[in-house]
Amino acid sequence: MAGTISPTDKVFLPGSPHYEQLRKAFINANVPAKYPREIHRPVCVQDVIAAVNRAKEFGIPIGVRSGGHLFTCMSLWQDGLLIDTSNLNRQVEYEEKTQTITYGPAVRVCEISEKLEKLGRFFPHGHAPPVAMGGFSLAGGQGFFMRGWGATVDQWVTELEVVVPDGSLIRANANENADVFWAARGSGQGFFGVVTKFCSRTIPARKFYQRQRTFAIGPNGKLFNEVLTLAIEQNEKTPKYGTEVAVCTFFPEKFNPTIEGDEISEPSSLMMSITAAAYVDSIAEAETLLSAFDYVPDGLAKVVAGPVPVILKSWKEVFQEQDMLVPYGNGEIWHIDSILNDPSIPLPEMIEAIKPSQTQLPTRQSVGVIYIGDTYPDVGKMAFSLPQQYYISTFTCTKNPTKVSALRNWMRKVYREAEKVACGMYVADYDVTFRKSKVMTDSAFERFIKIRDKWDPECRFPHTLE
């Protein structure tokens, strides 16, 4: 029988000061009515061990939150125990001899980027500045310049420090507790432990150059097929290393701060951007690497804004653009769904299947995103195992709670069509209560289940992947 505990500055109980504030500390305003029995906010590894042991005493599930960026709020469990890692190893430390960094799970993308910039170093962190490195890394890491460097957890993350379900602290790397190291990298919300520290290698910093072309694609995305085909064809002509390409669909009203409400004033004004970036030492190198995007066919020349040159951008400017894409903190209710395409399906068939999810955006703030990952993982190395040729996603947004149900129904409809050309989905977006999908290959998932059952036989960390 578990004993009683009093509220402290690290343990919060229902009804105590700050409990509700911490319970709702997610990027999404639509937090479910789930109330953990206790919320623990550890500042050291011993606090994490105490929290895990506390859950064992009660026999209750553990949820772990790094930054609260999962729109599904999957770390909240009714009568469970929430471990909020906001104050755990919240710094980035650099070891000059090995050129590696260590960082805690709640370190934000913008924080790690700022630290690395001061050091003159780089590693492929995420694109969205408020995302915490814990969730980003466990999902596998769709980091910058993925098409050449692969997933961040593949070539970059070298070791983890983990508190496992029995309350032990272990190191996990390629040689020590290698099964945990394999399982952690790509299982996301399904991981069976609390990562307290990550270790990653770095490289010398370079400069970020970008070129963006924006097209007016007309009513119902009339020119969507042509613009996406252009982006993919020119991407294939672009060297892989140190480059990346992304495509977005959006309404121009999305970026107008004077407009309130969800209404789309001009459905015909749907826009589509192709953003190509290069991480090199000079603008001459960037212009050469991105030269394929000089080309615009005659049929699209009249609907493209431009010409737009390659420009140097600071990380601050890059992150400002990302924040504009997915704003938060003002009552925004977000929902995401996505697929990873099956590379064996012909391109025209794939484009037709995903078109509704990208061109029939239901609200002014909604956005479609296609990230060209060009990544084909080795299932023997990590749980992150599905091919990520193209990551295709839709973010819907409203501030009106009464519209949530209709938006979810819209999402089900368009992704019922999109999943016909999918091999699965990125685990960071997975919501078992909304739509079931593969998040690993069959062989990887079978291996993951065996490892999970070995380390967590009592299901202390809930099975959210099946």
- The whole-angstrom separation of Cα 210 and Cα 371 is 15
Residues forming a β-bridge with 95? 100
* Helix or strand run (H / E) with residue 91: none
Which residues does the chain have with pLDDT short of 50? 1
Give the per-residue pLDDT at 270: 93
Give the per-residue pLDDT at 3: 57
Q: What is the dihedral of CA 35, 37, 43, 48, to 10 degrees?
A: -120
Give Cα 251 distance to the centre of its chain.
Answer: 23
Domain positions in the chain are 11-84, 92-204, 207-429
Tokens of 94: 């650099």
Q: Euclidean distance between the first and final Cα of the chain, in Å?
A: 30
Give the domain 207-429 fold.
Vanillyl-alcohol Oxidase; Chain A, domain 3 (3.40.462)
* Helix or strand run (H / E) with residue 308: none
Give the domain 11-84 fold.
3.30.43
Whole-prediction pTM: 0.95
What digits encode the pLDDT tens for the residues 96-138? Answer: 999 999 999 999 999 999 999 999 999 999 999 999 999 999 9
Give the per-residue pLDDT at 268: 67
Residues forming a β-bridge with 254? none
Helix (H, G, I), strand (E, B) or coil at 335: strand
Name the region of 242 (left: φ>0; alpha: ψ -120 to 50; beta: rest): left
- The whole-angstrom separation of Cα 347 and Cα 362 is 25
Buried residues in 242-251 as b, exposed as e (16+ CB within 10 A): bbbbbbbbbb
Give the per-residue pLDDT at 465: 87
- The whole-angstrom separation of Cα 169 and Cα 166 is 9
The sign of the dihedral angle between the CA atoms of 283, 373, 358, 132 is negative
> So what's the architecture of 92-204 in CATH?
2-Layer Sandwich (3.30)
CB 407 within 8 A of CB 396: yes
| The residue to which tokens 């578990």 are assigned | 2
Burial class (CB in 10 A: 0-12, 13-18, 19+), 409: exposed
DSSP state for residue 435 in the 8-state scheme: B
Give the per-residue pLDDT at 1: 42
- The whole-angstrom separation of Cα 312 and Cα 297 is 26
